[in-house]
Amino acid sequence: MSTVAKAVSLLEMLGSGAPETTLADLARRAGFDKATTRRLLVSLIAHGLVEQDETTRLYRLGAGIARLALMREGQFPFLRIAAPVVEALAAETGETVHLSEYSKRGLITVHVVESAKANRVSVQLGDVLPMHATASGIAFLAFSEERIREAVLAGPLPAFTPHTIGDAGTLAEHIAAARARGHSTGSQGYEEGVLSVAAPILGADGFAIGTIAVAAPRARVHAGDIERHGAGVAVAARDISERLFGRHGLPGRKRA
């Protein structure tokens, strides 16, 4: 693992779980020795990406992370533009709505509005969603570049529940169905008792750059709800695409 990869892994650990942690805990979780962990943290602190409390000596993410996020958002305002659409869809459906953006690391959850209902689906910011096991992943693959889709179909396809799609043929059928409908439906593939619908957010070239999804307890969702939520995510995804690029790219008008 490169030095950069090690440093990034520490940042990801600081961004999950407790907001502050000890050197020993970070080293243990990362599998690094304390000297290596300390050296990486000193470098990250120098760049403002990590802070250490002077009293407790605990480590936490630094303000430099927010600065980088703001710089990125200024260049490509995906979250700022999409967030109002996510919030409106959550209010309309009364269910949890989450927004994901694609990067080389995968499909990453970047914004969540949870349902106000006691029985609700919780989605964590920063989650990397498995492409084959989630409605978001299948919606993305239905409108992704061919190289991305083929890499996922080649496997592995790990099981998260007894309902997870486990073979390439079945996954390809779900992808084709999502492409035909313009949105996908997923039932308990990633978490038991959860049903989701998702639609792709398309870039100017017609390929997916992310997804928007509605997730609800399966026991509360009926056939009419699935159709309504599917239509809702499709409209929301088109809205975000239009706000970002000025027009809605035609799904699949180009193939890689």
Of 123, 153, 148, 155, the residue nearest 208 (C-alpha): 148
**What is the rounded distance in angstroms from the CA atom of residue 29 to the CA atom of residue 31?**
6
Is 166 within 8 Å of 236 (Cβ atoms)?
no
Find all residues with CB under 8 Å of 129, minimum gap 6, and list them.
Answer: 100, 106, 107, 108, 109, 136, 137, 190
**What is the rounded distance in angstroms from the CA atom of residue 140 to the CA atom of residue 174?**
12
Of 199, 187, 193, the residue nearest 230 (C-alpha): 199
Neighbouring-strand partners of residue 197: 185, 214
What is the CATH class of 3-67?
A: mainly alpha
Angle between helices 146-153 and 168-181 (to 10 degrees): 140
What pLDDT does 162 receive?
A: 96
pLDDT tens digits in sequence order for the chain, 256 residues long: 789 989 988 988 888 778 899 999 999 999 999 999 999 999 999 999 999 998 999 999 998 888 887 777 777 789 999 999 999 999 999 999 999 999 888 899 999 999 999 999 999 988 899 999 999 999 999 999 999 999 999 989 999 999 999 999 999 999 999 999 999 999 999 999 999 999 999 999 999 999 999 999 999 988 788 999 999 999 999 999 999 988 644 444 433 3
**Domain 76-245 architecture:** 2-Layer Sandwich (3.30)
Of 134, 99, 49, the residue nearest 244 (C-alpha): 99
Cα 243 → chain centroid = 20
Rg of the chain (C-alpha set): 20
Is 251 within 8 Å of 143 (Cβ atoms)?
yes
Joined together, the tokens standing for residue 128 give 């990397």
User: What pTM was computed for the model?
Assistant: 0.79
Q: Which residues of 122-145 are buried (b: 16+ CB within 10 A; e: fewer)?
A: ebeeebebbbbbbbbbbbbbbbbe
Of 209, 190, 198, the residue nearest 249 (C-alpha): 209
Containing 129, the helix (H) or strand (E) segment is strand 128-129
For residue 200, whether the previous peptide bond is cis, meaning omega lies within 30 degrees of 0, is: no
Domain boundaries, the chain: 3-67, 76-245
Q: Taking the CB of residue 176, how many other CB atoms lie within 10 A of it?
A: 11
